[in-house]
Amino acid sequence: MSATLSVIPGPAKDMNASLALGRKRKRANRIVKTLCLTATGLGLIFLASILATLLSKGIAGLSLTVFTTSTLPPGSHGGLLNAIVGTLIQTVLGAAIGTPIGLMVGTYLAEYARDSALGNAVRFVSDILLSAPSILIGLFVYQIVVSPLGGFSGFAGCLALALIVIPIVVRTTEDMLRLIPSQLREAVIGLGAPKWKMIVLICYRAAREGIVTGILLAVARISGETAPLLFTSLGNLNWSLSLTKPMASLPVTIYQYAGSAFQDWVDLAWAGALLITAAVLAVNIVARTLLRGRK
């Protein structure tokens, strides 16, 4: 390496000084490269450590009763059935409420208000809500739904999750609609179609994979949310499908069980943690593959 350097006529008069400079620059480069590799390695180790912990502790607690029995007092071989079903109900309903609104907001931003003041304000606020602490969404829904109606309910949990879904769907919908070439829109309008038909029949169809990806990512996100459910659906140790009563959910049950003093509850918490993480990561991978297939 010094041989190649020495044949380059550098600006420095002193050969030794320029060689030393070259060595110094290369050393700095090597150090930074090593540090970056270490950082990436650490990041991967964190992921591996989390997954390994989940697998080793989660599989121990996993058995058929986890899926067939509801939560029971410690020592009586309970499962997580009510929590799993509760999470499914709240996630599906939350996504079902939030998706249409998010889709319309995204459409508004991409098709109607690209540069208008109102559009910019909506985009800004939606992006803020996207990263806003989710516990505050829980407090908000507590204040406007739980407190006036006089009780925790599964429906309040769905609403809290829906509010988290909206900004996620807004972001992906707008981004995907913006990718559609304007010639496509002009061609449709030129054929005499009204704008709403252009959006619903052509733009949505062209952006379908992207929009579905956004919805899937939103579903993955809310299925693991704990904080907003603490003050809304609260959790329920009994079997209940009623949306007007407190409803169990996997994350909240994990939260309650993980901190308990009973080993079988802690084991169940790990089993639940493994289930929820596996589901969330699987949905994420599907969503990303879907988006990649499009490109």
Provide the minimum distance between the beta carbon of 65 and other proteins in the complex, in angstroms, as a whole number. Answer: 21
CB atoms within 10 A of CB 224: 16
Question: Could you tell me if residue 69 is left (phi over 0), alpha (psi between -120 and 50 degrees) or otherwise beta?
Answer: beta
* By the rule CB under 8 A, 278 interacts with other proteins: no
Write each residue from 37 to 66 as x if it is in contact with other proteins (CB under 8 A), else as -, in one continuous string.
Answer: xxxx-xxx-xx-xx--xx--x---------
Any bridge partners for residue 234, and if so which? 247
Site for other proteins in 151-170 (CB under 8 A): 163, 166-167, 170
Structure tokens at 128: 């803020």
CA 25 from chain center: how many Å?
42
Alpha helical stretches, state H, 108-230: 117-131, 134-141, 147-149, 154-179, 182-190, 195-197, 204-206, 208-223, 227-230
DSSP annotation of 243: T
Q: In the complex with other proteins, which residue's Cβ is closer, 93 or 219? A: 219
Site for other proteins in 179-238 (CB under 8 A): 182, 185-186, 189, 192-200, 220-221, 223-227, 230-231
CA 123 from chain center: how many Å?
19
Q: In the complex with other proteins, which residue's Cβ is closer, 76 or 190? A: 190
Provide the minimum distance between the beta carbon of 262 and other proteins in the complex, in angstroms, as a whole number. Answer: 15
Site for other proteins in 112-131 (CB under 8 A): 112-115, 118-119, 121-131
Q: In the complex with other proteins, which residue's Cβ is closer, 108 or 155? A: 108
Q: How far is CA 190 from CA 25, 49, 124, 194, in A?
A: 60, 57, 33, 10
Give the CA dihedral 204, 205, 206, 207, nearest 10 degrees.
50
Site for other proteins in 60-99 (CB under 8 A): none
CB 236 within 8 A of CB 247: yes
Provide the minimum distance between the beta carbon of 207 and other proteins in the complex, in angstroms, as a whole number. Answer: 15
Find the binder of other proteins among 19, 55, 92, 101 (CB under 8 A). Answer: 101
Provide the minimum distance between the beta carbon of 277 and other proteins in the complex, in angstroms, as a whole number. Answer: 5
Provide the minimum distance between the beta carbon of 139 and other proteins in the complex, in angstroms, as a whole number. Answer: 5
Stretch that binds other proteins, among 62-70, 91-99, 141-149, 240-248 (CB under 8 A): 141-149
By rule CB under 8 A, what count of residues binds other proteins? 102
End-to-end CA distance of the chain: 41
Find the binder of other proteins among 80, 109, 160, 164 (CB under 8 A). Answer: 109
Q: In the complex with other proteins, which residue's Cβ is closer, 175 or 209? A: 175
Q: In the complex with other proteins, which residue's Cβ is closer, 15 or 47? A: 47
